[in-house]
Amino acid sequence: MSDTTNAQEQLSKLRRKQLFLVEMAMITPAEDPLSVLGPRLDEHLAWLMERENTGSLFPAGTLGDETGWDGSGMAIVRAESHAAAEVDVQTEPFCKAGIRKNTVRGWQLNEGNVTLRLKLLRDTFEVI
């Protein structure tokens, strides 16, 4: 089997699930991002919860590591189109308030591995 045939076979197995990546970047950097985001944090969490409940929110979270967090975040959302995703993410409270800029990019879920571990009696879960 040639490399081309192998590559074509592998490409045919891709999931090609169209989703949308939302980059949520602070417009003005702050030494303490929570001091800027805090007053609208309840609204932001309610916005996320609503989308989680309707199934339009895939994963979401902050962008940071052991070196710190600059107030930015990221989400992957389900939407009928890029335009629909764009309209929806502009309603996010930090964006509406002019604190963050939300940028939508198309993203295809093609491959990978996700394992979830649920412990029902302990009411815990892990993403492995």
CATH of the domain at 15: 3.30.70.1060
Q: Where are the beta strands (DSSP E) in 85-123?
A: 100-109, 116-119
Statement: the pTM of the whole predicted model exceeds 0.95: no
Number of structural domains found in the chain: 1
Residue 83 domain boundaries: 3-127
Q: What is the pLDDT of residue 68?
A: 94
Q: What is the pLDDT of residues 49-102, one digit of tens each?
A: 999 999 999 999 999 999 999 999 999 999 999 999 999 999 999 999 999 999
